[in-house]
Amino acid sequence: MKRLFDVVVALCALALLSPLLVVLSLLIRRRLGSPILFRQVRPGKDGKPFEMLKFRSMTDARDTDGALLPDADRLTPFGQFLRSTSLDELPELWNVLKGDMSLVGPRPLLMEYLPLYSPEQARRHEVRPGVTGWAQVNGRNALSWEEKFALDIWYVDNRSLRLDLKIIVATIGKVLKRSGISADGEATMPRFDGRGGRS
């Protein structure tokens, strides 16, 4: 039922939001340049890699050595708007259709984090990663890594279609309030170092 629910909702959302997706693509191309989509390999169910799609929200500004500048220096007001409204996440609906992701589940993080997880934290990969999740409606990036992972594991152990519906409704409210967008003192979220707490 969960997979069928994911496919039906993702198809309907893509159809209804197609005009918005076109407008956002044009705005991103004009304000941030190409590529329009941000592509990155992330771990899916059982840690299997997949290519996650998002709308681009940062520039490619680099220092004199050619290294990318910190997130705070590359995140423009337009990019911040995309993130605060979660519009940058809309291309992930395609990942849902492909079966790489679910509408609801632990957020897919970086591949390099895989060896840093404790056995309990690694349980977040027992299910497909989600566009939104229990951690996202209970603090989002304002949480510490330890708090996020605890919420992810709670979802894994208590998941149900009813809970997914509750999370989706709560996500809409969070997006409208634009709460928990970034960690304290960070443009996005500090990197996970294996300790689980705040950076």
Q: Tell me which amino acid residue 5 is.
A: F
User: The tokens of 139 are what?
Assistant: 């603090």
- The 10s digit of each residue's pLDDT in 80-126 is 999 888 999 999 999 999 999 999 999 999 999 999 999 999 999 99
- The 10s digit of each residue's pLDDT in 49-80 is 999 999 999 888 887 777 877 777 888 899 99
Measured CA to CA, the distance from residue 73 to residue 61 in angstroms comes to 8
Q: Please name which of 140, 141, 151 lies closest in space to residue 183, comparing C-alpha atoms.
A: 141
Q: Which residues does 4 contact at the CB level (< 8 Å), separation at least 6?
A: none
Q: What are phi and psi of 142, to 5 degrees?
A: -75, -10
Q: Is 105 left (phi over 0), alpha (psi -120 to 50) or beta?
A: left
- The 10s digit of each residue's pLDDT in 140-192 is 777 889 999 999 999 999 999 999 999 999 998 888 876 655 544 444 577 88
pLDDT band at 139 (very low <50, low <70, confident <90, very high): confident
- The 10s digit of each residue's pLDDT in 112-121 is 999 999 999 9
Placement of tokens 């390999």 in the chain: 41
Check residue 109 and give its pLDDT: 95
Check residue 183 and give its pLDDT: 46
Check residue 19 and give its pLDDT: 96
